[in-house]
Amino acid sequence: MRYEKGRKDVSRRRITEIAAERFRRDGIAASGLAGIMSDAGLTNGAFYPHFRSKADLVRESLKAALDEQADQLRQALASGGLEAILSVYLSAEHRDNPGAGCASAALLPEVGRQPDETREMFAEQVAGLVAQFAQTLPPQTPDAQGVALGIYATLVGALQLARAVPSKAQSDRILAAGAEAARTLARAATEGSTAAEA
């Protein structure tokens, strides 16, 4: 029985990983269960012992992708703060590989159409990411959460725009402009906290 439970856990994890990649790469609506299950090396009938519905799979795979992103963010913050995040998040490599990238940038319009349970989970995950950004700001920063939310929204929006345009030169310019806008928000917060101390 332990073998079966362990095998079921491995299969569920595999389905979730494949779905997270497919949803980010192709979109939720464009990713059918048959394709996901085939990529996972399983039959369509094997889906329902793991998940009640596609909506359940969307929620779980989105959470897994956001958890992974939070871990990557923690590592980047520890290694080099905001600049480390900017160099990874607003890079050509991230832009060109949505299936392995930020779930927010890849899926925001579709997440907004998901059931409340999924949207609530997404909001909690984003709040956690924003809290990590806020920790990089000086302790006296007025409304550190608001500044961090602005930085995160700037990064997500810049990545979405960079992926949408056909010109590589224009896309690269958008990435650079997004990075500079994020730096400007962080500098303004730092200057504001310094002025408040004076």
pLDDT band of residue 5 (cuts 50, 70, 90) is low
Per-residue DSSP letter, 100: G
User: How much is the pLDDT for 139?
Assistant: 85
CA distance 23 to 96: 15
196: pLDDT strictly greater than 60 = no
What number is the average pLDDT over the span 25-43? 94
CB 133 within 8 A of CB 124: no
Structure-block tokens of residue 171: 């896309």
Specify the pTM.
0.86
CB 57 within 8 A of CB 16: yes
Structure-block tokens of residue 153: 């929204």
Condensed to tens digits (0 to 9), the pLDDT of residues 6-20 reads 677 888 999 999 999
What DSSP assignment string belongs to 115-130? Answer: -HHHHHHHHHHHHHHH
In terms of C-beta density within 10 A (0-12 exposed, 13-18 middle, 19 or more buried), how is residue 47 classed? buried
CA distance 59 to 37: 17
Number of residues that make up the chain: 198
Would you give the end-to-end CA distance of the chain in angstroms? Answer: 67
Alpha-carbon dihedral sign for residues 73, 79, 156, 95: negative
190: pLDDT strictly greater than 80 = no
* Cα angle 4-50-24, degrees, rounded to a multiple of 5: 125
User: How much is the pLDDT for 198?
Assistant: 46
CB 157 within 8 A of CB 104: no
pLDDT-above-90 percentage for the chain? 73
Average pLDDT, the chain: 90
Structural fold of domain 59-197? Tetracycline Repressor; domain 2 (1.10.357)
Find the radius of gyration of the CA atoms of the chain. Answer: 19
4: pLDDT strictly greater than 90 = no
2: pLDDT strictly greater than 50 = no
113: pLDDT strictly greater than 90 = yes
Condensed to tens digits (0 to 9), the pLDDT of residues 154-167 reads 999 999 999 999 99
